Structure 1
Amino acid sequence: MLICHCNIITEKEIEQTIIRLLDEDPWQLIVPAKIYHAMKKRGRCCGCFPNVVETIIRVTEEYHVRSQAGGTDIVLHLDRVRSLRDQFGRKFNERRATGHRAA
């Protein structure tokens, strides 16, 4: 699935980059800008960043479930990330109200 239309980046490419970054350091903070930097791309309109954040959370959770890390650490960390996303990231999507649809 195509995630970034500006740079023509697929979901699979983003997932592979996240896994590569997690292989380097499993507990690092991964944000969209770090992924784009690792891919030698840059965010242009940045409309894809909410989808990239969702992909980061999903892939990171799957990565740590497959690894030998302690399960309670993973759950606590991901719950904190989700609560921050709900607190700061869900109010506005590209500075649009929740009910706004582009199409």
Structure 2
Amino acid sequence: MLACHCNLITEKEIEDTIIGLLEADPWQLIVPAKVYHALSRRGRCCGCFPNVVETIIRVTENYHSRSDAAGDDIVSHLDRVRELRGQYGSRRHERRTTSHRAA
């Protein structure tokens, strides 16, 4: 599935990049800019970033559930990330008005 229309990046490419970053350092903070930098791309309209954040959370959670790390640490950290996203309004429409046109 195409995750970023501006750069023509698939969700599989993003997942593979996240796994590569996690293999280098399993406890690093991964953000969309780091993923795009690893792909030698940059965010253009950044409308895909909320979906990339969800992909980062999902892939990181799956990666750590397969590792030897303590499960309590992983779950509490990811729950905290989800709570912060809800607190700071990630579910909003990224300041796009109803008259916003993509093309």
Instruction: Tell me the secondary structure at the aligned position of residue 3 of structure 1.
Output: strand
Gap regions ≥5 residues in structure 2: none
TM-score between both structures, scaled by the size of structure 1: 0.90
The 4+ residue runs of structure 1 with deviation greater than 2 A are 89-93, 100-103
Whole-Å separation in 2 of the counterparts to 1:86 and 1:38: 27
TM-score between both structures, scaled by the size of structure 2: 0.90
Deviations 1:11-35 (A, max 9, x none): 0000000000000111100000000
Deviation at 1:102, TM superposition (A): 6.4
Instruction: Tell me the secondary structure at the aligned position of residue 88 of structure 2.
Output: helix
Gap regions ≥5 residues in structure 1: none
Q: Which residue of 1 aligns with 2:58?
A: 58
From the superposition, tell whether residues 16 and 47 of structure 1 become closer, same or farther in structure 2 (CA, over 3 Å): same
Matched pairs, number: 101
From the superposition, tell whether residues 101 and 56 of structure 1 become closer, same or farther in structure 2 (CA, over 3 Å): farther
Q: Which residue of 1 aligns with 2:33?
A: 33
The two structures, once aligned, show a CA RMSD in angstroms of 1.8
8 Å CA contact retained: 1:50, 1:93:
no
Instruction: Tell me the secondary structure at the aligned position of residue 3 of structure 2.
Output: strand
1:86 and 2:86 aligned: yes
8 Å CA contact retained: 1:33, 1:43:
yes
Letter in 2 for 1:52: V
